[in-house]
C-alpha cells in the first residue's frame, strides 16, 4: 500500500530521511524474511541488534528502514537515497504502530481478548475460544498451543513461544479476519507486554488469572513483573478479575477505571461470578454458579478448582460480550480443554496418564490437589527444571512435590544453553536429605519413559511441563518433540516385547 509518513498519525518518529510517500507492504524485524517494499524495523535483542542487518534488508528490497541509531541510518541514506529511513525513539513501539497502520487497523474489525497471569493463560484462552464458538461467535486463539481458528490449527511459525511480535500479531489478525473469524483470544505474557508487542491497540476484554513468582530471570523483581502485567489493563475496555488472587487483583481494582467483572471460588467474596458446591468425578466437575442474583447448575468436563476459576473467567468474558447467561450455561458441558492441560490419556491399559503444563510451584500444587480427587493405586510424577526460566524456583518444585507422590522423576524442559545435569541438580537441591523415591533423566523423552517404567496397572502417571509449539528449546534451536509420540512409541515397544517373549 502507498503511505505518506508525514500525513499519517499512527507511527511516531523523530526524523525522516528520504521520501515521505512510499510503498510499504509488511513489517519485518528479521532481515531473512524481508521482501520487496517491506518495512524493516531494527530491533535490539539479547543476542543481536537489527541495525547490523540493514544492508541485508535493503538488498532484499526493503522500502523503509526504521531504527534508533540516527547517525547510522543517515549514513545509509547517503548511499541509498531511493529508500526511506525513519528515526524513532522506541523501535518496538514504532513496529507495533507500523504493523497497525499497514494492517488497516484490522484489530478494530474483530473482538479482541487478552489473557495475562502466571498460570492459566493457555487454559483460559482455550475455554474462551471453545465457549464463544459454542455460542456461534467464530473465535480463534493465539498462544503457547499455536494458532487455532474456529475450525483448525494453522501452520504458522511464531517467532516467540507464546505472544507473537507485533509485526506477526497484526498480520495474523488480518489473516484471521479475512478467513471469517469474528473474535481472537490471545495470551499476553509479561515479557510481551514489557516489549510492547501488544501496543498501539485496545482490547475489548483483558483477563487476569493470578500472579506468583515467574520470569524473574527477565524482570529481576516481583514488582517489575507485576507492573509489566498491569500494562494490559491500561489498554482494555473491560477487565475480568480473579479476586481470590492476592498477587495482583487489588492493584487492578484500584487502578482500572473501565467495566469490571469479578470472579471467585469463595462464597463471601462478593464477586460477580462465584462457583459454589464444587464436586468432581471421573467425568469432570459440577458446581452451582452464583451470578446476577441467581444460581445456575453447571457441569463441565474440567478438573481442579483452578480450572473452575479459569472457566469463570471465560464465562465473564461471554457475559461482557452480552451473551445470555442461560445460553452460556447450556453449552458448558461441551467445553474443550487445550492439549496438554490436565489431558487424561486412558488408552494404555488400566492406568491413567495425565499431561499438564504445570511448570511453577503454585501450578504444581494446584495440580496435585486436583489429581488427588481421582482414585489411583500409586502416583508417579515427573517434574521439570525449565532451563530458559528462573533457576531460583527450581528447588521450590522439589519442595512442592516431596511427600506427595509414590515415585518422583526429575527431568529437564527447554535446557536452552544450560547443561541438563546442572538443571536437575538445581531442582534436587529442594529435596530433604531423607527423600529416597527420586529418579532423574536428562531429557524430557527419557523422563517420560522412566516414569512409565515405574508405573503399573491402576497407577496415575502425571507428566508436568511440556513442549512449546511442539518443540523443546535446545541451544537456541527448536527441536521437535511430542509427548504423545513418545508415549505411543513406549507402549508399542512394550507390546512388541510381550509378543516376542510369548513366541520364545
Q: What is the pLDDT along the chain (504 residues), one digit of tens a residue?
A: 999 999 999 999 999 999 999 999 999 999 999 999 999 999 998 889 999 999 999 999 999 999 999 999 999 999 999 999 999 999 999 999 999 999 999 999 999 999 999 999 999 999 999 999 999 999 999 999 999 999 999 988 777 889 999 999 999 999 999 999 999 999 999 999 999 999 999 999 999 999 998 988 999 999 999 999 999 999 999 999 999 999 999 999 999 999 999 999 999 999 999 999 999 988 899 999 999 999 999 999 999 999 999 999 999 999 999 999 999 999 999 999 998 899 999 999 899 999 999 999 999 999 999 999 888 999 999 999 999 888 988 999 999 999 999 999 999 999 999 999 999 999 999 999 999 999 999 999 999 999 999 999 999 999 999 877 788 989 988 899 999 999 999 999 999 998 988 886
**Which triple of cell numbers denotes residue 340?**
496438554
Q: Are residues 483 and 340 in contact, defined by beta-carbon separation less than 8 angstroms?
A: yes
Q: Alpha carbon 500 to chain centroid distance?
A: 44
**Residue ranges matching CATH 3.90.190.20 in the chain:** 343-498
Q: Does domain 343-498 have CATH number 3.90.190.20?
A: yes
State the DSSP code for 77: H
**Which segments of 48-165 does DSSP mark as H helices, in order?**
54-59, 70-79, 91-102, 121-134
User: What is the bridge-based pairing of β-strands 407-413 and 379-386?
Assistant: parallel
**Residue ranges matching CATH 3.40.1190.10 in the chain:** 106-334
CATH class of 2-102: alpha beta
Q: Which residues touch 143 (CB under 8 Å, ≥6 apart)?
A: 115, 121, 122, 125, 162, 163, 186, 187
**Which segments of 135-206 does DSSP mark as H helices, in order?**
166-178, 190-194
CATH class of 106-334: alpha beta
Amino acid at each position: 500500500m502507498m503511505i505518506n509518513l508525514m500525513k499519517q498519525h499512527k507511527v511516531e518518529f523523530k526524523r525522516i530521511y528520504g521520501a515521505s510517500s512510499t510503498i510499504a507492504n509488511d513489517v519485518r524485524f528479521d532481515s531473512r524474511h524481508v521482501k520487496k517494499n517491506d518495512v524493516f524495523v531494527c530491533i535490539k535483542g539479547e543476542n543481536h541488534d537489527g541495525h547490523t542487518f540493514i544492508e541485508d534488508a535493503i538488498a532484499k528490497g526493503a522500502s523503509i528502514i526504521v531504527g534508533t541509531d540516527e547517525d547510522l541510518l543517515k549514513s545509509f541514506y547517503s548511499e541509498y537515497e531511493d529508500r526511506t529511513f525513519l528515526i524513532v525513539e522506541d523501535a518496538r513501539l514504532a513496529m507495533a504502530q507500523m504493523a497497525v497502520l499497514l494492517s488497516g487497523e484490522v484489530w478494530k474489525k474483530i473482538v479482541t481478548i487478552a489473557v495475562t497471569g502466571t498460570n492459566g493463560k493457555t487454559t483460559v484462552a482455550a475455554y474462551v475460544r471453545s465457549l464463544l464458538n459454542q455460542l456461534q461467535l467464530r473465535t480463534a486463539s493465539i498462544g503457547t498451543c499455536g494458532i487455532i481458528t474456529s475450525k483448525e490449527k494453522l501452520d504458522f511459525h511464531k517467532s516467540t513461544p507464546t505472544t507473537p511480535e507485533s509485526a506477526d500479531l497484526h498480520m495474523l489478525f488480518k489473516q484471521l479476519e479475512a478467513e471469517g473469524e469474528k473474535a481472537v483470544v490471545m495470551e499476553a505474557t509479561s515479557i510481551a507486554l514489557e516489549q510492547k508487542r501488544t501496543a498501539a491497540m485496545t482490547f475489548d476484554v483483558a483477563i487476569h488469572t493470578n500472579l506468583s513468582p515467574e520470569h524473574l530471570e527477565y524482570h529481576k523483581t516481583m514488582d517489575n513483573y507485576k507492573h509489566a502485567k498491569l500494562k494490559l489493563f491500561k489498554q482494555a475496555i473491560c477487565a475480568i478479575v480473579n479476586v481470590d488472587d492476592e498477587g495482583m487483583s487489588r492493584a487492578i481494582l484500584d487502578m482500572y477505571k473501565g467495566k469490571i467483572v469479578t470472579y471467585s471460588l469463595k462464597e463471601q467474596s462478593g464477586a460477580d461470578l462465584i462457583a459454589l458446591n464444587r464436586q468432581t468425578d471421573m467425568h469432570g466437575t459440577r458446581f452451582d454458579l452464583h451470578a446476577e442474583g441467581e444460581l445456575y447448575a453447571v457441569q463441565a468436563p474440567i478438573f481442579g478448582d483452578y480450572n473452575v476459576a479459569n472457566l469463570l473467567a471465560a464465562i465473564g468474558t461471554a457475559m461482557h460480550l452480552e451473551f445470555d447467561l442461560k445460553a452460556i450455561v447450556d453449552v458448558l458441558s461441551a467445553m474443550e480443554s487445550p492439549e496438554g492441560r490436565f489431558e487424561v490419556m486412558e488408552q494404555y491399559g488400566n492406568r491413567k496418564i495425565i499431561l499438564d503444563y504445570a511448570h511453577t510451584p503454585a501450578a504444581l500444587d494446584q495440580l496435585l490437589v486436583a489429581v488427588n480427587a481421582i482414585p489411583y493405586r500409586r502416583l508417579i510424577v515427573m517434574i521439570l527444571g525449565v532451563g530458559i526460566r528462573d533457576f531460583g524456583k527450581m528447588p521450590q518444585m522439589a519442595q512442592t512435590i516431596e511427600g506427595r507422590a509414590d515415585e518422583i522423576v526429575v527431568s529437564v524442559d527447554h535446557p536452552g544453553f544450560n547443561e541438563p545435569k546442572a538443571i536437575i541438580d538445581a531442582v534436587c537441591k529442594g529435596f530433604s536429605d531423607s527423600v529416597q523415591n527420586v529418579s532423574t533423566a536428562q531429557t524430557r523423552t527419557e523422563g517420560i519413559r522412566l516414569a512409565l517404567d515405574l508405573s503399573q496397572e491402576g497407577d496415575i502417571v502425571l507428566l508436568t511441563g511440556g513442549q512449546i509449539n511442539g518443540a523443546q528449546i535446545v541451544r537456541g534451536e527448536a527441536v521437535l518433540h511430542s509427548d504423545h509420540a513418545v508415549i505411543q512409541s513406549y507402549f508399542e515397544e512394550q507390546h512388541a516385547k510381550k509378543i516376542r517373549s510369548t513366541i520364545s
